[in-house]
Chains A and B, each alone.
Chain A
Amino acid sequence: GQNIDQPTEMTATEGAIVQINCTYQTSGFNGLFWYQQHAGEAPTFLSYNVLDGLEEKGRFSSFLSRSKGYSYLLLKELQMKDSASYLCAVRDEGGSQGNLIFGKGTKLSVKP
């Protein structure tokens, strides 16, 4: 079956660092994506990992371990505007090439 798990909610302080974890169990794997979604808005693409290791893009970094079925999104120097839901998604090639399976998202609240 398909299962993607992330914490439901997290709280962090402005200027700090936060790590959002994601574990997955899917019938296939062809990449892991992180999206940011502000309430009532469209998800926007943040990062993509297909090989093990860390991908860095400005204040955001994403890590993947395929053998452990694990990823995390690291947000540095948190800003108030980073308050949003962060969605982990896996591209599963098990009969649905190109289709992304999303986790339920982690709602991050950044406090002053």
Chain B
Amino acid sequence: DSGVTQTPKHLITATGQRVTLRCSPRSGDLSVYWYQQSLDQGLQFLIQYYNGEERAKGNILERFSAQQFPDLHSELNLSSLELGDSALYFCASSVATGENYGYTFGSGTRLTVV
């Protein structure tokens, strides 16, 4: 157990629907990062939060949004889902930005859009 908790582990939903993925960071970690991993693209950075505030944005679609709450857990909302959104979604956390031991990843949520 890495200490980063993601729920649910698996999600199957239909095109056009909306889902929410949840992440609880490791105790004491202030930064949360969301990544999407599909077979042909590798790990793609979506968005980063630090202590409740958005810090950086990557290749995140407008149909996707995220937030980090006062208790530091984060949610990633995916709407108007398309078949191409099927992927593994990872959350990672770290104590702060700029540290030298990288991130700790959660076990991921596997999203299947049918």
Binding site for B on A (CB under 8 A): 30-31, 33, 35, 40-45, 48, 50, 87, 89, 91, 95-105
Main secondary structure of the interface of B (DSSP, over half): strand
**Could you tell me the distance between the alpha carbons of A98 and B58 in the complex, rounded to whole angstroms?**
12
Main secondary structure of the interface of A (DSSP, over half): loop
Residue of B50, B102, B110 contacting most chain A CB atoms (<10 Å) = B102
The size of the chain B interface, using a CB distance under 8 A, is: 33
Binding site for A on B (CB under 8 A): 2, 4, 31, 33, 35, 41-45, 48, 50, 55-58, 88, 90, 94, 96-108, 110
> Which residue of B has the minimal Cβ distance to A93?
B98
**Could you tell me the distance between the alpha carbons of A78 and B98 in the complex, rounded to whole angstroms?**
32
Report the minimum CB–CB distance from B88 to chain A (whole Å): 8
Which residues of the partner chain B approach A41 to less than 8 Å between Cβ atoms?
107-108
**Could you tell me the distance between the alpha carbons of A98 and B104 in the complex, rounded to whole angstroms?**
13
Q: Is there an interface contact between A48 and B101, defined as CB atoms closer than 8 Å?
A: yes
